[in-house]
Structure formats: C-alpha cells, structure tokens
Amino acid sequence: MSASTVQKSTEFTNSNLEVLLSEEQIKRRVAELGAEIAAAYAEKDLVIVGVLKGSCVFMADLIRAVDLPLTIDFMAVSSYKDAMKSSGDVEILKDVSQPIRGKDVIVVEDIVDTGLTLFRLMEILGSRGANSIKIASLLDKPEPRIKKELVIDYCGFQIPNKFVVGYGLDVAGRYRNLPFIGVVKNPEIA
C-alpha cells in the first residue's frame, strides 16, 4: 500500500468511516473471481454488463482479471425515484447497446441488498434470448433481502446490514473513489 493510500485511508477512517474491507482484500478477491469466471466461460461468447454507476470500479478491475476475450456493456436503472428505498419498479435509464441473444451474460453489481431491482433487471434481460445470465456482485448484504430466490453466482464478500461506501459505492455522490469499503458511522453527516 502506498504512503498516499495510507494517508488517504487514515484521513477518511479518522472522520466518519470505519474500514470494513481493505484495498488488499478487495484486490485479492477480485482476482479470484476473475479466475473463476475465466474457467467457467472459456470458449463462450461472454458479455459483461455493468449496472451504473456503482459497479464501474469493481467492473473495471474484474474484467482485467478475466483472462478471456469478452465484450462489455452498461445499463443504468432506477427503482428509487425520490425515495430512500427501492420500489422494485425498474425504470431503464440506459439500456445495453448491443443485443445479448445467443450470448452468455454476467451482470455486474456493486452491492445486492433487497434484491428487488436486480431481480426485475434479471427478468428484463432474461426475456432477450441470452444463453445464460449470471450475477457478479462485489458485496452481498443478505439481511434485508426480499427476493430470497435471487442467486449471486460470483460474490465478492457477504457483509452485515450496514451503510457502506467506497470502491464505487457512494453517499450523495461522494466516496466512490476510495480504494476500500468503509462503514459510514453516522450517515447524517456523510
């Protein structure tokens, strides 16, 4: 870990964040996930679809860890409207740019909690004729899960039901650039 990373981590942890997963833990697990995916998808037409914005950091590191030819695409969805909780009613703000029919798809998320949005997104994508659709998520927060049947095929870490930021996850657009996952001690001052 570089001196600037240590300083940055210390600045944030001394304020309102507590490190839950270190930069090194994340790097190691992402490499493992990449190797698992490469082994499972050899000789397949793989498309990795990132759900914006939170998945972008995880997805960038993950695709570099998958030693296979692949293509990438992105989707942006909203299920929160102006509320703090997901309604489960998914609005597609940005759709994939290429058809997925006949391809093997991995949907990449930053975190899965209630599962409502991702469950609906999987239904939408499932109607488009892909050979297979799997989920890769950096974080799984199973405690608030409403959609229990949702399977995370490639899971980085299971975490407790706490508000987390960093490595792509944010609060009010902030903290996405942190190299670690931190628990927000007091969300009201985040």
Which positions are catalytic?
113
Helices (H), 41-187: 56-65, 116-126
Q: In angstroms, what CA-CA distances link 13 with 5, 114, 182, 183? A: 12, 27, 8, 9
Q: What is the CA angle 81-85-86, rounded to 5?
A: 65
Q: What is the DSSP string of 125-140?
A: HHTT--SEEEEEEEEE
Residue 75, CA atoms < 13 Å, CB-side half-sphere: 25
CA 80/CA 20 separation, integer angstroms: 26
> Which helix (H) or strand (E) segment is 29 a member of?
helix 23-40
Contact by Cβ (8 Å): 111, 137: yes
